[in-house]
């Protein structure tokens, strides 16, 4: 069943990526950098005195955000990754969260910060928070660069949010469209031209 769904998602992704589109800038690289700086001040106040903060990036979308966050944080940090997927290559959430890659290290008794690129329906963040809580961390906080509250289906909110955005199809700064555009230094809005 999962195999069939993967094939369907792949075909959907291939078809979508052939539709012509342009990307309009929504949040500039400069605005993101300024917000990252602010967010890090808040994170530092929360975790001041920690002997080690484990910063957990949710792959793949958070890889740019987590890289900027940890370089801005003036705290002893360790970085780990978890891959959770709810979308495949399609645009619709499958509402089923799969853990494709688990953490390398244990988090029991540790301070943990989960880093998400975008909270949409909320299924991914909610699932990951429950999973990590069950492992007994001392403190578990979460941060999302973007939040689309109008799309929420599961009640969840990151402890810190970079920007609340309307229900637009966004890409860049780690976020993809059919696996492309993750390398844009800003957040852009996809506008189909055909």
Sites of contact with ligand PRP (CB under 6 A): 58-61, 85-87, 93, 116-125, 176
Cβ-based neighbour number of residue 177 at 10 Å? 20
Largest CA distance in the chain: 54
Cβ distance to ligand PRP smaller for residue 75 or 177 = 177
Smallest distance, Å, CB 78 to ligand PRP?
21
Q: Which residue is nearest to ligand PRP (CB)?
A: 61
- Is residue 185 part of the annotated active site? The answer reads no
Cβ distance to ligand PRP smaller for residue 74 or 102 = 102
CB < 8 Å & 24+ apart, contacts of 38-41: 39/69, 39/143, 39/160, 39/162, 40/69, 40/72, 40/73, 40/74
Smallest distance, Å, CB 157 to ligand PRP?
11
Smallest distance, Å, CB 73 to ligand PRP?
21
Phi/psi at 160 (nearest 5 deg)?
-130, 140
120, 159, 167, 185: the active-site residue: 120
Cβ distance to ligand PRP smaller for residue 107 or 181 = 181
For the sheet with 77-85, list strands across it.
Answer: 98-101, 77-85, 53-59, 111-119, 139-147, 160-164
Smallest distance, Å, CB 180 to ligand PRP?
11
- Cα–Cα distance between 115 and 55 in angstroms, integer? 7
Cβ distance to ligand PRP smaller for residue 64 or 125 = 125
Residues labelled as active-site residues = 120
């Amino acid at each position: 069943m999962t195999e069939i769904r993967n094939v369907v998602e792949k075909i959907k992704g291939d078809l979508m990526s052939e539709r012509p589109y342009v990307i309009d800038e929504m949040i500039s690289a400069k605005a993101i950098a300024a917000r990252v700086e602010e967010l890090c001040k808040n994170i530092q106040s929360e975790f001041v005195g920690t002997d080690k903060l484990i910063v957990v990036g949710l792959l793949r979308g958070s890889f740019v955000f987590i890289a900027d966050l940890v370089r801005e944080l003036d705290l002893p940090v360790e970085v780990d990754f978890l891959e959770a997927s709810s979308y495949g290559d399609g645009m619709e959430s499958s509402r089923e969260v799969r853990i494709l890659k688990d953490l390398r290290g244990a988090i029991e008794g540790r301070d943990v910060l989960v880093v998400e690129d975008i909270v949409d329906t909320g299924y991914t963040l909610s699932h990951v928070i429950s999973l990590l809580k069950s492992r007994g961390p001392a403190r578990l906080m979460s941060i999302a660069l973007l939040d689309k509250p109008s799309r929420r289906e599961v009640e969840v909110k990151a402890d810190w949010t970079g920007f609340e955005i309307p229900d637009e199809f966004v890409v860049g700064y780690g976020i993809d469209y059919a696996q492309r555009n993750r390398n844009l230094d800003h957040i852009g809005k996809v506008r189909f031209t055909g």
